[in-house]
């Protein structure tokens, strides 16, 4: 009997509102108004959970700079490995983690100290590294203004008689991305390295 009433109610709400209010929206609003809701104070609905996963934080929670930086560094590492691809990653992964990642962390930390908290939480990492021969690994930008703050690159160097090297560096908005700020170099081989993301 209860299912029949619920189905009737759903049809009635849909008809009366011409589909502008879905029954699930109406039921959610009714449940939200109940003072003794079975939902606990710290429970998260499916929609709120996906919001939290996208942003890393629930709207009500206070900004945690350490968590923010930790999450950003995870994304940096993922983007870098995506850039390296299946052929380059196994060869340079360990040295990248030991030599380059600590320098990237320092650069991000220095940048984080330049921004107030309300601006810092708007910094995001771009989603797609450059393919082929492109130098771009990732950019850090302000999601509100859409402007880049930092650009992290890897260049292929081939000094005479020295083989191929991957030169990691970054550029900042302070000088309109002109200067190279060195992060370190990793030796590849005498042979030409494959293209990025291959």
Q: Residues 114-142: what's their mean pLDDT?
A: 90
158 versus 33: the higher-pLDDT residue is 158
Check pLDDT > 60 for residue 16: no
- Tokens standing for residue 101: 């990642």
Residue 128 has a pLDDT of 87
Give pLDDT, residue 32: 46
Q: What is the pLDDT of residue 42?
A: 33
Q: Which pLDDT score is estimated for 51? A: 34
pLDDT computed for residue 137 by the predictor = 96
Q: CA 46 → CA 21, 29, 30, 40, 50, distances in Å?
A: 19, 15, 17, 14, 6
Q: What three-state secondary structure class fits 181?
A: strand
The percentage of residues in the chain with a pLDDT greater than 90, rounded to a whole number, is 59
**Nearest Cα residue to 121 out of 67, 169, 41:** 67
Strand partners, 186: 166
pLDDT for position 90: 96
Note the pLDDT of residue 192. Answer: 95
pTM over 0.85: no
DSSP string, 25-64: HHHHHHHHH-TT-SS-TT---HHHHHHHHHHSS-TTSPP-
C-alpha count within 13 angstroms, C-beta hemisphere, residue 11? 6
d(CA 5, CA 127): 47
- As a whole number of angstroms, the distance between CA 187 and CA 18 comes to 66
Q: Collapse the DSSP code of 78 into the 3-class scheme (helix H, G, I; strand E, B; otherwise coil) and give the result.
A: helix
Report CA Rg, the chain: 25
Q: What is the pLDDT of residue 189?
A: 94
The pLDDT value recorded for residue 180 is 93
106: Cα within 13 Å, side-chain hemisphere: 11
Q: Which residue has the higher pLDDT, 5 or 65?
A: 65
Report the mean per-residue pLDDT for the chain. 79
């Amino acid at each position: 009997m209860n299912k029949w009433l619920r189905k009737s109610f759903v049809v009635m709400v849909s008809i009366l509102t011409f589909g502008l209010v879905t029954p699930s929206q109406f039921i959610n609003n009714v449940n939200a108004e109940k003072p003794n809701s079975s939902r606990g104070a710290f429970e998260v609905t499916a929609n709120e959970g996906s919001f939290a996963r996208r942003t890393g934080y629930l709207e009500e929670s206070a900004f945690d700079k350490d968590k923010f930086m930790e999450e950003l560094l995870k994304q940096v590492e993922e983007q870098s490995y995506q850039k390296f691809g299946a052929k380059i990653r196994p060869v340079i992964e360990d040295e990248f983690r030991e030599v380059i990642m600590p320098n990237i962390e320092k650069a991000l930390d220095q940048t984080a100290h330049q921004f107030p908290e309300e601006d810092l939480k708007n910094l995001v990492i771009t989603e797609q590294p450059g393919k082929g021969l492109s130098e771009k690994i990732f950019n850090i930008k302000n999601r509100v203004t859409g402007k880049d703050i930092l650009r992290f690159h890897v260049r292929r160097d081939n000094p005479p008689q020295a083989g191929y090297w991957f030169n990691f560096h970054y550029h900042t908005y302070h000088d309109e991305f002109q200067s190279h700020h060195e992060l370190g170099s990793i030796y590849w081989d005498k042979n030409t390295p494959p293209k990025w993301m291959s």
